[in-house]
Amino acid sequence: MSLPEEDLTCPVCCDIFTDPVLLSCSHSFCRACLKRCWDTGLRECPVCRKRASKYFPPSNLALKNVCEALLQTRRQSLAPTEDKMNCSLHGEKLKLFCQVDKQPICVVCQSSKLHKTHDCSPVEEAVLDCKDELALSLKTLQDKVDSLKRIQRTSADMSKYIKSQALETQRLIRIQFEQLHQVLCQEESARLAAVKKEEEEKIVGMKDKIKELSAELLSLTETIAVIQEQLKEDDMVMLKNFKATQDRGKSIVLGSDNMSGLLIDVTKHLCNLKYRVWEKMLEHIDYTPVTLDPNTAHPCLILSDNLTSLYYSKQPSSCPDNPERFHMSAEVVAMTPLGSGSHHWVVETGSNQDWLLGVASLSVPRNSEVSARPENGFWTLCFRDGEFRAMTSPPTPLTLSRTPKQIKVQLDYNKGTLSFFDPADNTVICAFTHTFTETLLPYFYTQSSHPLRIMPEKVLVTMLRQ
């Protein structure tokens, strides 16, 4: 059982015993401490003042062994700390911090060639600076952890959304193909019915022709029989009946023996059948030059199933926080990249009283709110509070004789012009001139529950003849 440290402490120096001696009064002291006390002339115990019987008191070997064991234990526990505090090369205390090599050094190291030209600072100052840097690094790393956790949550949400997106897209594809199938079935039924109708008409015609031929054949047979009988009569009888018999033979007029056109007109039904069906299907198909990209739409924008119209809802939809999406404002772009050539599309604004239309650069920020101005990569026409404005810097008010229900947007990328028209009379509302260098996207904004709708265009089929 170990003794308390106070039992191993000299009453004179208040430190662990060094070479302890034992007096007759049972008190122990360091040999050197007791000698200093007795050098004053009084040979007595410094604690109880009892006179000592011996000038050279015996060593307290048991106490000495215990104290040496304690000191040894202390030295062993302090050795690593001392090693850490001292230079491994020179054994001197590490008092400086090299700013270049980012390590503590001693004064001898500072004078060496290795660190002589390096900036150094006291360890105390370096500790504060390094702690600040580590705290900053810790914050940066923690921010990265938070960002990764957020991305991880977003990724999980996106995985679920991708599944629902795929199911919804498949459903809409099936609906459109069902509509196409229905048109094809109706067209097939109509063409089969046309063949059946022609078959019935041709069969009725053939029956009439056969009936007509049978009547003619009967008449001719009877006339032949009469002539044959007359040839058998007496000459005078034959002569008396000659005129009547001859007139009867001449009165028979045969019908047309033209048999053309009686068969079914197969060519009419099969000639370029697939092409003519496809041409007929175009009457049931809409084509829009611009299609909205739902992956860029702000959560409060509701897009139609065919991605050609949008309106604002106060109830945001549950969609992932993907980088392409506009997060701050009710915006969406189309998926049609415009990097050259001429393009146009017509938007029906109807009763919508709050909208912006035009084009935006591919690189416009999606997670921050910026003004729709040319310097920010936007070229737009705005209608708000009953007023039209060209979104220049600053915006330019426009005076129109009437409020159009449709707006035509026309871009000539190579010439660097973007124009807005009233398609009713093709009058120019406003125009931008700019040297475009980046890919553009059709741009839409609204905070109205009344929809904006991209108008379909007529599809014209042109045959090229070699």
- Residue 52 is classified by DSSP as P
Nearest to 285 by CA among 187, 422, 167: 187
* pLDDT, tens only, 347-364: 999 999 999 999 999 999
238 with 181, same domain: the answer is: yes
Number of domains present in the structure of the chain? 4
- What is the domain-level CATH number for residue 425? 2.60.120.920
* Distance, CA of 452 to CA of 350 (rounded, Å): 7
Provide the residue range defining the domain that includes 418. 294-454
Buried b (16+ CB within 10 A) or exposed e, 357-370: bbbbbeebebeeee
Last residue of a domain, one of 284, 309, 329: 284
Decide if 391 is inside a domain.
yes
pLDDT at 329: 92
Residue 265 pLDDT more than 50? Answer: yes
Which residue type occupies 10?
A: C
Angle at 87 between CA 86 and CA 91, to 5 degrees: 75
Decide if 335 is inside a domain.
yes
309 with 443, same domain: the answer is: yes
58 with 106, same domain: the answer is: no
419 with 318, same domain: the answer is: yes
72 with 95, same domain: the answer is: no
> In the Cβ-directed half-sphere of 190, how many Cα atoms lie within 13 Å?
9
392 with 315, same domain: the answer is: yes
Neighbouring C-beta atoms of residue 281, cutoff 10 Å = 13
Decide if 151 is inside a domain.
no
Decide if 346 is inside a domain.
yes
* pLDDT, tens only, 140-188: 999 999 989 888 888 888 888 899 999 999 999 999 999 999 999 999 9
* 3-state SS, residue 179: helix
How large is the average pLDDT for residues 58-68? 89
445 with 320, same domain: the answer is: yes
- Res. 1 pLDDT band, cuts 50 70 90: very low
379 with 429, same domain: the answer is: yes
Q: Which residue has the tokens 């990097």?
A: 339
> In the Cβ-directed half-sphere of 431, how many Cα atoms lie within 13 Å?
11
* 3-state SS, residue 462: coil
> Could you please report the per-residue DSSP string of 238-258?
HHHHHHHHHHHHHH-------
* Distance, CA of 387 to CA of 339 (rounded, Å): 31
413 with 378, same domain: the answer is: yes
pLDDT at 257: 66
Neighbouring C-beta atoms of residue 253, cutoff 10 Å = 7
Q: What percent of the chain has pLDDT over 90?
A: 47
Angle at 166 between CA 163 and CA 168, to 5 degrees: 110
The mean-pLDDT minimum among 276-280, 357-361, 387-391 falls in 276-280
How large is the average pLDDT for residues 90-117? 86
430 with 398, same domain: the answer is: yes
Q: Is 158 exposed, middle or buried (0-12, 13-18, 19+ CB in 10 A)?
A: middle
Q: In what order do the strands lie in the sheet with 378-384?
A: 331-333, 440-446, 354-361, 378-384, 387-390, 396-398
What is the reported pTM? 0.63
